[in-house]
Structure 1
Amino acid sequence: MAEPEGGAGVSFDTIEDLQSALDGQDYVCGRALATVAFLSLRLGRPLFLEGEAGTGKTEIAKAIAAALGRRLIRLQCYEGLDASSAVYEWNFAAQMVAIRTAEAAGGAGRQALQAHLFSEDYLIERPLLEAMRPDPAGPPVLLIDEVDRTDEPFEAFLLEALSDFQVTIPELGTIATPEPPIVILTSNRTREVHDALKRRCLYHWVDYPDLDRELAILRARVPEAAETLSREVVAFVQRLRTEDLFKRPGVAETLDWAKCLLALDVIELSPEVIADTLGAILKYQDDIQKLQGSEAKRILDDLRSDALA
């Protein structure tokens, strides 16, 4: 993939500068992730982030875009996504109106009408094409989210498109960007992404944060939560991740749960409160059933015993 000198005009001088900028966007970033993000920006290399859902992969793209004052363009991947859906489509409804208008007015020449219908006036830009357009604020951040949900043909297309940062529209020709976007790809690892795509990126596995960093994240994102409640919430979620669950809660669920508890004016955790709000942190009924009743009380009692020890 392209490696523009100077990393698309990005001006962080040190890893600490980047961490500080991300802190300013309430994104608490560990040193390892900050380092690979810094290198991605400095070298102009795409950044490939893999990890469990809810660990902050998407959020770092948003934080980087905000810290740089750049536009964030998000391509949300899904099964069946194809090249045309990711790059462009024609405004069919507007084209039909133009055809009927031309017919009612006596009609322009067939070739002239066709050239007009397939001009940029009727082009609907999708994320990949949007990201290749010049922007006065500087190259945007292109977030290709959950690339593991697509299939191999789309991966092959993506590899080609990002290699030269250009796309071809048959009716208009090849469109190339004067300055490549900042590219961040994420994967929840529902399937393995092909090595050819990973090799062209800087890679980082985004793991669940440890207790101290998750507590710092909660303080940054939900500052109105009392310190005692914040510590209990983070400690409980940390312990849940050691249980045999179908889907372990991510940081996103920690934040959601804290907000739910605040909305209920909860001061400290209790088995009853936990039972009533499990749907904020667990998303599968089998997992919720495991934590109902005495199990939630056991975990809470263990945490409080550990805190007193």
Structure 2
Amino acid sequence: MIVETYPNIYRLEIPLPNNPLKALNSYIIKSEDKNLIIDTGFNRKECKDTLMKGLKNLNIDLNNSYLLITHLHSDHSGLAAALNQEGVKVYAGEVDGKMINEMSGEKYWERFDEFKVLFDLDKDNISFDDHPGYKYCPKEPIDFVSLQEGNILNVGNYHLEVVDIPGHTPGHIGLYEKKHKLFFGGDHILDSITPNIAFWGFDEDILDTYFKSLNKIYNYDIKTVFPSHRKIVRNHKKRINELLEHHGKRLEEIKEILKDNKMTVRDVASKMHWDLRHNSWEDFPNPQKWFASGEAMSHLEHLVCIGEVDKNIENGRLFYKLI
């Protein structure tokens, strides 16, 4: 389905089969000189067919078009290599662009075997083979044009400023159109669902990074946020307050779970509340166990950083306990 959400700005809904996210909002900004496509969907036939059909219906000439990837996740970057091979110039932030190219090789994914033990997920006998990030990411390196905060992309009457908004991923970027008060936010601010904040390494408190990015955007003069999933956001300050409150409750929930025992990441995740239609942790599909454990881990590490939780490693597994 294609909807003109603003003059010459179109939302193309790309299905994400068998995924709780259901669909990706790809945005196409048209002009007489060139067009900008924002995000692509998975690297799979259903997504490519929908994207190419939508571009055709909008009379988009790929020779006069550019692609911007807001962040590394495969539902956003999956078809970037295919479009790049068609001659489309592909933009991304420097951090996530580099990681997308790393994802096209096996070495990047071998770290998931380490995380499987560290998180205690090996007791669920899972692997990364059915992880959508692995299955549907670009399989060839991409010749990215790296963007820095403050760069401007001019498309017709729109002057889109690159904004760094790390948190959902380490190098997530958005586009801010100051004159029209528009913000293309990727997965930074979502409504009716909350962005997954995962674990990316011990060198950064990624949840705190996300909080800072939310507070940064809070002060922008924005009338409309164009998110990558679900509905358009008309009151970004209200939604940011709700997201901050959500994560505050998450942190309290985890402290309550840890009240009496030290626990692994997997066991904390299994006791958290998730808005999924499954009766127990055992019923969770393997990809959702990865996502849930990653989110539990980011919150546990934040609690460690602020001095409320302690951790230690036993037999290669992380254990957390309330101080």
TM-score range, shorter chain: under 0.3
Higher Cα Rg, which structure = 1
More strand per residue: 1 or 2? 2
Q: TM-score of the superposition, structure 2-length normalised?
A: 0.27
Q: State the TM-score, normalized to the length of structure 1.
A: 0.27
